[in-house]
Structure 1
Amino acid sequence: MSRQFARLGGVSLLALTLAGCASFTKDGGMSPVGAQVSSALGANAVKIASKADAQAANARVRALLAKPLSADSAVQVALLGNRNLQAEYNALGISEAAFVEASLPPNPGISLGGTLREGSLEIERRVVGSLLSLLTLPARKAIAEKEFEAARYRAVGATFRQAANARKAYYKAVAARHRVAYLERARASADAAADLTRKLGETGAATKLDQARAGAFNAETSSQLATARLEAGVTREALTRELGLWGADTTYKIPDRLPGLPKKLQTSDQAETEAIRKRVDLISARLELDALARQLKLDNATRYVSAFQLAGFANFERTKNDHGEVEKDYPKGGVLDLELEIPIFDLGETTRRRNAETYMQAVNRFAAKAVNIRSEARAALLAYRAANDIARQYRGSIIPLRKVISEEAQLQYNGMLIDVFELLTTTREGIETNVAAIEAQRDALLAGVDYQSAIIGGGSGGGDE
């Protein structure tokens, strides 16, 4: 009867233990990641875990590349094609495996031993299980669950970072192409001016000095164009890397003009408060801090017991006849053995001190991160507003004035009121102003990306790494 009760109790304990075991999700924990990314960016985060997933992702990428890329479509291509981002999703799957593993009871061990004595074989069978691991299973599962949740936010942060990097690379590549397109028009004008001046020199209407100035201006413009083309090639390759493209897919098209500035800045005077609430790297750090606190509490609770194993022995004696055949097994009883390490020298004080310092170290780093995030949000807001003001000043005031100056200078040159030098100087200044306007527009768009990253996470210097 007592054996039946013991067996029933063991089965009940095993059933209760297995009932608390976690199971793997169908998508490796990606559903919450995809939902948050879609809400914040309007793009889809997809983990490529099979050949079918890869084929579907490639088909969508090809469809997006069939048309000239926009900033949004570039972000979507990067989320589908960048392998570094897929590696971050694999890290999430690894964390899920650790969570499921932590929820499982420890595997028992079985050992067999035998002793041969005067023609008889004495066999010892041992089943060993860690009682401490079983008792601390709920606590270890809760810790692993926190760590898995933190890993989800790290995956979200990695997705935000990849999206921001792709968008910024796109704006840089388009700005470089925009600069090339403008300088090509400027060089065509410089070629025409140099050719006209040379012909006038042949008739004596233009001096050697005028011809030299026109030729130098043409050469300088050509040099600027060559530099711009180099930058366009380099920035396009940087964009290609962020998109994760290779082979025939690298022939994608991008526009030769930057998109316009937003009519109204979507900023908040409470940027730092919003960043503290939304930044995924801070949320992840908070979850990691909670997991550490639980872990250290568990260590404190078990610091006096560093080895706690329960072993069950079953002994029986096996005899053989004169022909070497086994006659019968004679059970010799069972033994219950409890192994416990006695804390004589280390009473656990070193563990307690180490845990306290480890936790306070993590708390201080978390507090420092929160302070830095507040400052990053304020700085990003200032930069975003200033960059937009500068770009709008160029577009609304400086460029129109430069256009008037160029037109008046041409009229005065045609009326022989100014010489070639003044006309070329005015034209050179106009080129520099237009190039600066393109760069200001690019910087304003980049500042917008940095501002969004400072609020939701994903910035290269915002602690998401």
Structure 2
Amino acid sequence: MAAIALRRHLAAPLLLLLGGCASFTPDGGMTPVANQVAGETGASVLKISSTEAAAEAQARVAALLSRPLDARAAAQIALLSNRGLQAQYNALGISEADYVAASLPPNPVFGVERLSGGGELDIERRLAANLLALLTLPARTEIAKSQFEAARQRAVEATFRTAAEARRAYYRAVAARQTEVFLESARRIADAAADLTVKLGETGAATKLDQARASAFYAEVSSTLAQARLASATEREALTRSLGLWGADTAFRLPSQLPRLPGRLRSVGHVEAEAVMRRTDLIAARLELDALSKTLGLTEATRFVSLIDGAYRSNYQRAGNETLRPSGFELEVQVPLFDLGETKVRRGAEVYMQAVNLLMEQAVNVRSEARAAYVGYRARYDIARQYQAKILPLRKIINEQALLQYNGMLIDVFELLTTERESIDSSVAAIAAQRDFFLAEVDFETAITGGGSGRAMVASAASPSAESD
């Protein structure tokens, strides 16, 4: 009867605790991540956790690879194929499992002991549970929930970073290819100039000095072209790694030149406020700090008692013709004679203040990064626009006039070749300036939303956890 009464008394609290337990989401917590990424970038994400999901991702990648890539398609392919990003999604699933586990009551321990001898029989049944873990269950659940929310923001940040790195690699690869194509054209011109100078030398119209200068010009352009080819191959491989492609998929096609500069820049009223409000790494750091605060509160609440075990005992004893069924409770409390919990409280306070200081440092850095990125974005645009609107058109005029003067025998081969060399340098610099603008644009976006190359906060370096044992 005592056992029945005990079960009745425990049934209601257990049902209440089980009702508050967290449950697994169908997609491992990915829905909020997908919604936030789609809202910020317009791209879609997919966690590859089955053969069906893998087949879907491959089909979507194949469709994007069927035409020449642009920056948007490159970012989308990376979100579908990059396995490093998938590992970040696995980390989110691990955090969800920890959250669900933290919301569950501690498992009871059931033991049976049987002793016999001399005509006596003693059977002991014991049901034990960690009562302190049960009492601190709501607090530990809240801590795990904050950590899970922080893990979601880290997954979003990893997604932004993967997309940004793919776009950067795309712009570098296209710029390297455009430079290579331009220098191939320049080498053909240098080759023709060298051949013409040799023929003029045979007729006496060009000196040996003129011939040597033309040949040196051709050799220098050829050397620069070889370096450009190396850079083009290297940047393409970097893009391939960023996209997560291999096998036949590495034969993707790139456009022959970078996109045109936009007609005007995007204006942002308060870049600092936007960054502080929207940066995913800063949001994650705040959530991690909240979890640390709750952990410290739990540590202070349990500083004097770190172990309470409760047990229900029910025995069956038989000696001769006499049978006894004694039952009762057992309570085990750890007595803090030497450690009164001060070490845990002091450690928790230092860990919390460490996280506070790191968060404040990160907030300062975020503001500075946003300002610097915006300045770089505007400056790179002005530089690239200067090349497109003024320097290259002027170089074209200079080349045309130099050729006319050479044909009129007003300048020699040296001046003509010098003019052509300067024109080549300006064209290569213009491609680099255009590339740098698009890279600065990516940096500006990531400085506002997150996923850039800035140093992330190490709020979880001290391994926040609720020590209840």
Aligned positions of 1:212-251 closer than 5 A: 212-251=212-251
1:39 Cα deviation after fit = 0.7
Alpha-carbon distance, 1:334 to partner: 1.0
- Partner in structure 2 of residue 413 of structure 1: 406
1:325 corresponds in structure 2 to: none
Instruction: Show CA shifts across 1:235-265 (max 9, x none).
Output: 0000000000000000000011001112221
| Secondary structure, counterpart of 2:326 in structure 1 | strand
Aligned residue for 1:191? 191
Q: Look up the match of 1:344.
A: 337
2: CA distance between counterparts of 1:223 and 1:79? 38
Matches within 5 A, 1:148-227: 148-227=148-227
Alignment pair present for 1:463 and 2:453: no
Deviations 1:264-303 (A, max 9, x none): 2113241011100000000000000001100110110011
Which whole-Å CA distance do the structure 2 matches of 1:105 and 1:89 have between them?
27
Match of residue 368 from structure 2 = 375
CA distance in 2, matches of 1:396, 1:47: 45
Q: CA deviation at 1:427?
A: 0.2
Of 108-117 and 272-281, the range deviating more from structure 2 = 108-117
Superposed CA deviations along residues 25-72 of structure 1, whole A, max 9, x for unmatched, are: 000000000000001111001101100000000000000000000000
Shift of the alpha carbon at 1:16? 0.5
Determine the C-alpha separation between the residues in 1 that align with 2:343 and 2:193. 83
In 1: Cα distance, 2:31 partner to 2:318 partner: 59
Question: Cα–Cα, structure 1 residues 245 and 318, in superposed 2: closer, same or farther, change >3 Å?
Answer: farther
Q: Note if contact 2:362-2:457 (Cα within 8 Å) is conserved in structure 1.
A: no
1:322-376 deviations in whole A, cap 9, x for unaligned? xxxxxx9944311211000111222222222222211111111110000010000
Per the TM alignment, residue 318 of structure 1 is displaced from its structure 2 partner at its CA by 5.4
> Which residue of the partner structure matches residue 7 of structure 1?
7
How big is the alpha-carbon RMSD for the aligned residues of Structure 1 and Structure 2? 1.5
Contact 1:121 1:319 in 2 (8 A): yes
Equivalent residue for 2:431? Answer: 438
Q: Deviations over 1:196-235 (max 9, x none)?
A: 1111111111111111100010011011111000000000
Superposed, 1:190-339 pairs within 5 Å as 190-317=190-317, 330-339=323-332
CA gap 1:38/1:299 in 2 versus in 1, 3 angstroms: same
The answer for the alignment partner of 2:53 in structure 1 is 53
Q: Deviations over 1:115-148 (max 9, x none)?
A: 2331433222211101111111111111111110
Task: Tell me the distance in 1 between the aligned counterparts of 2:457 and 2:69.
Answer: 27
How far off its partner does 1:7 sit? 2.9
Alpha-carbon distance in 1 for matches of 2:100, 2:350? 29
Q: Deviations over 1:351-407 (max 9, x none)?
A: 222222111111111100000100000110111111111000000011110110000
- Separation of aligned partners in 1, 2:330 and 2:6: 17
Q: How far apart in 1 are the matches of 2:131 and 2:43?
A: 48
Q: Secondary structure of the equivalent of 1:61? A: helix
Q: Distance in 2 between the 1:366 and 1:124 partners?
A: 55
Give 5+ residue unaligned stretches, structure 1: 321-327
Contact 1:198 1:211 in 2 (8 A): yes
Counterparts of 1:6 and 1:307, CA distance in 2: 23
Displacement over 6 Å in runs of 4+: none
Given that residues 38 and 44 in structure 1 are in contact (C-alpha distance below 8 angstroms), is that contact kept between their aligned partners in structure 2? yes
Q: Which letter does structure 1 place at the counterpart of 2:83?
A: R
Cα distance 1:329–1:271, how it changes in 2: closer, same or farther (>3 A)?
Answer: farther
- SS at structure 2 position matched to 1:303: coil
Gaps of 5+ in 2: 459-469
- Alpha-carbon distance between aligned partners in 1 of 2:170 and 2:54, rounded to the nearest angstrom: 24
CA contact (8 A) 2:281 2:450 kept: yes
Q: In the alignment, which residue of structure 2 is the partner of 1:82?
A: 82
Alignment partner of 2:325: what SS?
strand
Match of 1:323 in 2: none
Q: Whole-Å Cα distance in 1 between the matches of residues 140 and 197 of structure 2?
A: 84
Partner of 2:346: 353
**Whole-Å separation in 1 of the counterparts to 2:6 and 2:246:** 65
Write the distance in 1 (CA, Å) between the matches of 2:410 and 2:457.
Answer: 61
Q: Are residues 1:394 and 2:380 paired?
A: no
Change (3 A) 1:318 1:201: farther
Q: State the secondary structure of the residue aligned to 1:315.
A: strand
**Paired residue secondary structure (1:56):** helix
- With normalisation by structure 1, the TM-score equals 0.96
Return the alpha-carbon distance in structure 1 between the equivalents of residues 50 and 12 of structure 2: 39
Which amino acid is 1:157 matched to?
E
Map 1:117-136 to 2 at 5 A: 117-136=117-136
Describe the shift of the 1:329–1:90 C-alpha distance in structure 2 as closer, same or farther (beyond 3 A): farther
- Per-residue CA deviation, residues 400-429 of structure 1 (Å, 9 max, x unaligned), is 101100000000001100000000000000
1:446-461 matched pairs, under 5 angstroms: 446-461=439-454
TM-score (norm 2): 0.95
Equivalent residue letter for 1:70: D
AA aligned to 1:11 is A
Q: Do 1:454 and 1:462's aligned partners in 2 also have CA atoms closer than 8 Å?
A: no
Paired amino acid for 1:26: P
Given residue 404 of structure 1, which amino acid in structure 2 is its aligned partner? Answer: I
Aligned residue pairs, count:
458
Residue type at the aligned position of 2:273: T
Instruction: Write the letter of the residue equivalent to 2:408.
Output: G
Contact 1:310 1:338 in 2 (8 A): yes
Please give the residue correspondences for 1:57-68 in structure 2 after superposition, counting only pairs within 5 Å: 57-68=57-68
CA distance in 1: counterparts of 2:221 and 2:428, whole angstroms = 12
> Does the 8 Å CA contact 1:383/1:447 hold for their aligned counterparts?
yes
Equivalent position amino acid for 1:380 in 2: A
- Structure 2 counterpart SS, 1:404: helix
**Change in 2 beyond 3 A, CA 1:357/1:382:** same
